[in-house]
Amino acid sequence: MKKQIANLTSNIFNPFLVSLVVIVLLSFESTSSISETIKWALILIAVIILPVFSVIVYLTHKRKLEGIFVNVRRQRNKIYLLASICTVTSCILLLYFEAPLVLIATFVAGLCAIIVFMGINLFWKISLHTAFAAASVTILTILFGSSWAVTTMLLPPIAWARIELGHHSIAQTVTGALLAVLIVVVVFHFFGIIGSGTAF
């Protein structure tokens, strides 16, 4: 039963689904019309989520990856590289087409996180599940107010699930979360979003 609950928790709060929800929320709140919301959400989903997810599914089908949520450290290198390329492309498109500031800041933070995590992955594995969840909680709390801080309650179950399934240690889940929060705060401060009221 514990394994089943851990699997369910891990699958529901996976990095792809968490990213999708955050992209849609930010696109909706930072644009003035439904058409703009749909435009930015579809562009970002098409440029970063779908390519990475599709490649992972393909490599998993070809048995070149252990699974969709890549748990073998060495197998993550190629995924990090692909994700960095897709994120750089997303940042360029956002800047070129003058996207809302919050979308630009979010994807710059994402790129910084990927670079940091890719470097760490050369010698140690950290939890992307807790990293994505913690980054999302931080972004939503910064942008929408302290009431969203209640979503931090999701972090312990996610960390527990990854530990229970044997994919990460306590240190790996905690490090992933803390690094993600730090990167978001630093990048959002750099863009003048924190405390400025200019996010949207």
Q: Can you give the pLDDT at residue 199?
A: 60
How many helical (H) and strand (E) elements, i.e. helices and strands, does the chain have? 9, 0
Instruction: Evaluate whether 140 touches 22 at the Cβ level (below 8 Å).
Output: yes
pLDDT at res. 198:
54
199 found inside a domain: no
Map tokens 């229970």 to a residue: 164
Residue in 191, 64, 61, 49 with CA at minimum distance from that of residue 132: 49
Question: Quick check: is 184 in a domain?
Answer: yes
Alpha-carbon distance of 42 to 31, in angstroms, equals 14
| Position 34 confidence tier, pLDDT thresholds 50, 70, 90 | very high
Tell me, yes or no, whether 165 lies in a domain.
yes
pLDDT in tens, 129-177: 999 999 999 999 999 988 888 999 999 999 999 999 999 999 999 999 9
- Asked if residue 136 is part of any domain, the answer here is yes
The pLDDT confidence band at residue 69, using thresholds 50, 70 and 90, is: confident
The string of pLDDT tens digits covering residues 83-120 is 999 999 999 999 999 999 999 999 999 999 999 999 99
Q: Stretch 67-89: mean pLDDT, rounded? A: 88
Number of domains, the chain: 1
Distance CA 173, CA 183 (A): 16
200 located within any domain: no
User: Is there a domain that residue 98 lies in?
Assistant: yes
Domain of 30, in residue numbers: 2-190
Report the predicted TM-score, pTM, of the whole model to 2 decimal places: 0.91
